[in-house]
Amino acid sequence: MNKTKGSMSHPRNFKLQGGFTLIEVILVIVVLSIGLTGLLVYVSQAAQDSAYAHNISTATTLAQDLMEEIRSKCWDETATATAVCSGAVTASAIGADGGEGRAAYDDVDDFNSLPVAGNTPPQDSQGLAMAAFPYFTQSASVCYVASTALDTCIAGPTDYKRASVTISWSAADQVNVVNVFSNHEM
């Protein structure tokens, strides 16, 4: 038998070889999949919370903007004849007067005629749709209230009107802003 160097066959020693067994690889895959599932649930919840916070912020801004528009108007139709919305004011019926459209609203209670079902998307002060907010709905209501119960609408007339603005973006999510206006000069 003629053996030369390098041609000798050596039995393989598996203990000296590096690597992972099949069971080790499977265990790593299982552990990683459980860990990543938990991480994905956390990331998903964080994204939902971020979207909800964004919607609250947008709705609050839209509600405040509409309430500021309402505040800029006279207390009642009979006060709009004077330059500064003052003078002798007699309370009139709640709602838009004489077929006024949104651009012509000139007193607080005109906003009671914003649709009860709401404007989707919300409208600006000229009655034009704000297309940047397609998922938001805008509505407002105005009513007479007594000085002793500012949360309860009454038939009136009184010297107090309560305006409520609602901006919603789903059946359950909405922002409300409420203000009480009085017929008193400062």
What domain range is 69 assigned to?
Answer: 48-182
pLDDT for 8 beyond 70: no
**Which of 36, 61, 41 has its CA nearest to residue 124?**
61
- pTM for this model (two decimals): 0.72
Asked, for residue 20, whether it belongs to a domain, the answer is no
The sign of the dihedral angle between the CA atoms of 60, 113, 153, 147 is positive
Torsion of CA 68, 69, 74, 75, to 10 degrees: -60
pLDDT for 54 beyond 90: yes
Residue 75: pLDDT band by 50, 70, 90 thresholds?
confident
Region 176-182: what's the mean pLDDT?
A: 93
Asked, for residue 91, whether it belongs to a domain, the answer is yes
pLDDT for 154 beyond 60: yes
Asked, for residue 87, whether it belongs to a domain, the answer is yes
Asked, for residue 73, whether it belongs to a domain, the answer is yes
Interacting residues of 49 by C-beta distance below 8 A, sequence separation 6+:
none
Residue 146: pLDDT band by 50, 70, 90 thresholds?
very high
Report the pLDDT value the prediction gives residue 5, as an integer from 0 to 100. Answer: 57
162 within 8 A of 150, measured Cβ to Cβ: yes
State how many domains the chain has.
Answer: 1
Asked, for residue 22, whether it belongs to a domain, the answer is no
